Every structure is written in C-alpha cells, then in structure tokens.
C-alpha cells in the first residue's frame, strides 16, 4: 500500500486517540480544580475526627455524591486507591506521535517556510524538539526559585508569561506559522505532562509510602502537587487554542502572528482564571470576579477587528465585478496548486490538472485557498491575495469551466 495513504491513516487514528485522551485529562483536571475550590469545612464530628478537611455534596446521574478531601492524608491507607496519570501520559504520547507523523516526517514542508527562515529540515526538527524540552526546564526553575515566596504564584505567572511571549516570537521567526503556533501549544502541553511525571505522581507516591510505613506525612508533597495542578489548569485553554489554530490560516499568516498567538492564549488564561475564581467566590460568599472573563473576551473581540480583511477601496467597490474567465483560474491553479495536486502526486486524493477535476474539487479549492487560506501549505508557491480573490469570485459565480 502507498506510504502516504498509510500515513494518513496513522494521522487519523493518532488524532482520534489524542482527542479522546485529552478530553479525559482536561475533564479530570477541571473537575478536581472545581472540587478543591468548592469544598466546605465538614460539620459532622465523625468527619472531623477522620481528618476530613473539606466536603461537597453533589447530584449527578440520578444519584447523590459526597466527595471528601483529607489534608494531608487519611489516617489509614485505603485498600482501593485510584491514580490519575495515564490520562496525562496518553495525551502527550498520542500528541507527540501525531506531531511526528504530520510534522517531523514532512519537516521540509510543514516546519520550514523559507520566506520565514531558510534552514535545513534536520535543523528545524532539532529546534522543534528543543522547544518542547526547554520550556519545561525554564518553567521548573522559575517554580523552584519563586514558587514558595510571598505572592509566588503571581511572580511565577509573570515570569512564565514573559517567557511564553519570547518563545512565541522566536517560534514565529524560525518556523512556518502553522508549525510555530502548534509548537508553542505543544511546549506548554509538555510542561503540563512533565508536572505530572516529575512532581505530582512522585510526590503522591512518597505520601503513600510514608502512610504504609506509619511515618508522618510531609505536607510539602501535597502542596507542590496542588501548585502544579493549578498551573496546569491555567495552561489548558491556551494549549487548546494553539492546537486548533492550525485550521485557520488567517491567524498564523498575519505579519504579527506571534502577537496574535500571545493574545489568544492570554484570553484563554484569563477566561479560565475567571471560572477558577468563581468556584472560590461562590463557596466563600464573595463577588464572582467576572472581569477577567470580560477582559479575555475583549481581547478576542480586538483580534476579530484587527485581523478583519481590509474593505475594498471606494472606486473598486463601486465598479461592477468583472466576470472571471476560467482560463484565469486555470492559470492560477496550474501555477500555484498542481505542483502537489497532479496525477503523479495526488496529495490528499485531490487532482487539479484537468477542467473536469477542477470543477469536481471546486468547493475544496475555494475553502482551502480563498476562505481558510490554508493552501498552498506555507504559501510555498507564493499565491497572492488577488489570486485568492479571483478563485473566490469564480466559485461564488458558480465555478464555470467554459
């Protein structure tokens, strides 16, 4: 079987698995952050005697639930203890597999945009892997140095924001825009999974070992795990928007694409903070701080206005639209598209070297080249905005081929 066909199947199955595991991981993360911030001190003496520090009554699925949290740990080790870590590991492994299949195997096409930075595919691969690892080490050092200081979380957040701004700018100066957005999201996702692997699960294992040995439980492990878990929940929405961005070429094709990425991720973090703070405010009887979500939404609205296509000049708008001759469209497709979409190289099963095939794939050409502006990949064939507009007018006039 054709290697490209098998790679497409690998991409589909890895993407499917990645989405499933990511839903499981983010869902459990959101739930436990909500739970931590919604617990109330127990009233029943028997719960206080058992060492319960917080409880919550909830109703779901036709039944009532009564989760309880022990701080630092229960007096006795329970027989059945559920661990939450495979959701994280599986998400990272499937994501890295998908990145390998889609980007590393085709680095010359997907990672390298010679108009951005002209360098060998091997160097781009090495640099992309470096992005994944360096973020974790920088973040971990910031947490070690500032995490336990007064206002430590605020200092860590500011330092990490500065680093992410720099990393976004650098990625957009080294890689194709689509890959740059994905890489910044992937480096934050790698940091999230490394938090689980390096700090959260090992800390919990030490607590379990101390309980089994009948030793006093060191509270630092619970404190550190909680800190890193809270950091992870703030990463989730920025990571998700960075991952989704590769479907929208007008995001990463802008001249200041690094700023677009930073503002999108900042909006996600602010909106997530609003919901985290809401849970605390509701339990403590304080005002819900919706202003963070409002600021996040305002950033998104600002991006909508900023990235909007320029309106045509008054003279052009007043002039009647000239009918598009198919020969003009055919010339654009021959020059910009058939390099990858021909009988010898039918990329994604799309062939565009005859009028009949162009008509057959007209909607896909319109969507990918004129609306989403995803194709040509990294604009390798230098299609112009005027040529995209030509394809748009041709399709909207019924895609005639005569």
In tens, the pLDDT along 33-60 reads: 999 989 999 989 989 888 899 999 999 9
d(CA 362, CA 368): 10
pLDDT tier for residue 104 given thresholds of 50, 70 and 90: very high
CB 24 within 8 A of CB 88: no
Size of the chain in residues: 402
Instruction: Give the tens place of pLDDT for each residue, 161-183.
Output: 999 999 999 999 999 999 999 99
259 vs 390: which has the higher pLDDT = 259
Average of per-residue pLDDT across 59-66:
92
At 64, which helix (H) or strand (E)? strand 63-65
* DSSP H helical ranges for 86-218: 86-99, 107-110, 121-146, 152-174, 177-194, 201-212
Give residue 321's pLDDT.
Answer: 66
d(CA 195, CA 136): 8
Give the range among 20-24, 181-185, 249-253 with minimum mean pLDDT: 249-253
CB 87 within 8 A of CB 24: yes
CB atoms within 10 A of CB 18: 21
Give residue 163's pLDDT.
Answer: 96
Phi, psi values for residue 82, rounded to 5°: -90, 135
Give residue 351's pLDDT.
Answer: 86
In this predicted structure, the answer to whether residue 315 has a pLDDT above a threshold of 60 is: no
Q: Delimit the domains of the chain by residue range.
A: 110-306, 314-396
Instruction: Give the tens place of pLDDT for each residue, 73-99.
Output: 888 888 888 899 999 999 999 999 999
Give residue 298's pLDDT.
Answer: 97
Phi, psi values for residue 52, rounded to 5°: -70, 130
3-state secondary structure of 361: coil
CB 367 within 8 A of CB 395: no
In this predicted structure, the answer to whether residue 130 has a pLDDT above a threshold of 60 is: yes
322 vs 104: which has the higher pLDDT = 104
Give residue 187's pLDDT.
Answer: 96
3-state secondary structure of 31: helix
Name the pTM for this structure: 0.85
Give residue 192's pLDDT.
Answer: 96
93 vs 208: which has the higher pLDDT = 93
What is the overall mean pLDDT for the chain?
89
Instruction: Give the tens place of pLDDT for each residue, 281-313.
Output: 777 777 878 899 999 999 999 999 999 877 765
Give residue 318's pLDDT.
Answer: 55
pLDDT tier for residue 314 given thresholds of 50, 70 and 90: low
């Amino acid at each position: 079987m054709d290697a490209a066909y098998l790679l497409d199947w690998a991409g589909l199955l890895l993407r499917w698995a990645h989405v499933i595991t990511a839903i499981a991981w983010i869902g459990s993360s959101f739930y436990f952050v909500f739970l931590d911030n919604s617990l109330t001190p127990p009233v029943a003496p028997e719960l206080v005697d058992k060492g319960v520090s917080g409880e919550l009554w909830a109703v779901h699925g036709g039944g009532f639930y009564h989760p309880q949290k022990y701080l630092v740990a229960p007096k006795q080790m329970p027989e059945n203890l559920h661990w939450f870590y495979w959701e994280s590991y599986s998400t990272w492994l499937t994501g890295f597999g998908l990145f390998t299949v889609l980007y590393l195997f085709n680095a010359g096409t997907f990672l390298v945009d010679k108009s951005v930075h002209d360098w060998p595919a091997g160097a781009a691969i090495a640099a992309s892997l470096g992005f994944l690892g360096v973020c974790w080490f920088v973040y971990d050092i910031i947490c070690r140095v500032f995490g336990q200081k007064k206002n430590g979380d605020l200092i860590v957040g500011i330092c990490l924001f500065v680093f992410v701004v720099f990393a976004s700018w650098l990625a957009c100066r080294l890689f194709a825009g689509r890959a740059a957005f994905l890489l910044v999201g992937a480096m934050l996702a790698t940091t999230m999974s490394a938090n689980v692997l390096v700090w959260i699960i090992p800390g919990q294992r030490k607590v379990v070992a101390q309980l089994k040995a009948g030793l006093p439980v060191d509270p630092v492990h619970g404190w550190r795990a909680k800190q890193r878990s809270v950091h992870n929940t703030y990463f989730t929405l920025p990571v998700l928007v960075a991952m989704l961005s590769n479907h929208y070429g007008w995001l990463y094709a802008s001249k200041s694409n690094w700023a677009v990425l930073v503002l999108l991720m900042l909006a996600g973090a602010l909106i997530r903070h609003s919901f985290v703070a809401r849970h605390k405010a509701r339990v403590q009887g304080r005002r819900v701080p919706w202003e963070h979500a409002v600021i996040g939404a305002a950033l998104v609205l600002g991006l909508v206005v900023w990235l909007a296509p320029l309106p045509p000049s008054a003279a052009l708008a007043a002039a009647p639209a000239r009918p598009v001759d198919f020969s003009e469209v055919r010339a654009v497709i021959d020059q910009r598209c058939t390099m990858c979409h021909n009988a010898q190289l039918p990329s994604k099963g799309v062939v565009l070297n005859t009028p009949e095939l162009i008509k057959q794939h007209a909607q896909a050409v319109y969507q990918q080249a004129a609306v989403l502006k995803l194709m040509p990949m990294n604009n390798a064939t230098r299609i112009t905005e005027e040529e995209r507009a030509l394809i748009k007018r041709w399709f909207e006039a019924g895609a005639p081929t005569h």
